[in-house]
Amino acid sequence: MIQPLKGKYQSLKGMNQSLKGKYQSLKGMNQSLKGKYQSLKGMYQSLKGKYQSLKGMYLSLKGKYQSLKGMNQSLKGKYQSLKGMIQSLKGKCQSLKGMHLSLQRMSTHLKINTFLSLFGN
């Protein structure tokens, strides 16, 4: 009766050692997974920081874009204004050119009349 109990005890003792080994193995795997988790958590935090930085850069660029867009509209308005001034000056130049030609004709007629009045009779 003692022999079969001794065999069972030895068998249970072996199973206990096997389970202890498996427990230690699982414990090591758990530590490894904890390390990987911490590593991934750090990578996540790093990426989160980079995302926030990129988001800030995007918002900054968006603001600059809006500013440039406003400046572009302002410059378009100034361009149209200058274009109008140029057209106005062209008209005034044409008018002055006509006045100049008219004055030249009057001057020529005046010279002819003066010459004729002095030497014509």
Looking at residue 1, its pLDDT comes to 63
What distances in angstroms separate CA 88 from CA 2, 53, 77, 79, 97, one per listed residue?
125, 52, 17, 14, 14
Return the pLDDT at 4: 78
Alpha-helical (H) ranges within 1-121 are 2-119
The pTM of this model reads 0.55
Give the pLDDT of the chain (121 residues) as one tens digit per residue.
678 788 899 999 999 999 999 999 999 999 999 999 999 999 999 999 999 999 999 999 999 999 999 999 999 999 999 999 999 999 999 999 999 999 999 999 999 998 888 886 6
Q: What is the DSSP string of 91-113?
A: HHHHHHHHHHHHHHHHHHHHHHH
Q: Which amino acid is at 30?
A: N
Question: What CA–CA distance (Å, rounded) separates 73 from 92?
Answer: 29
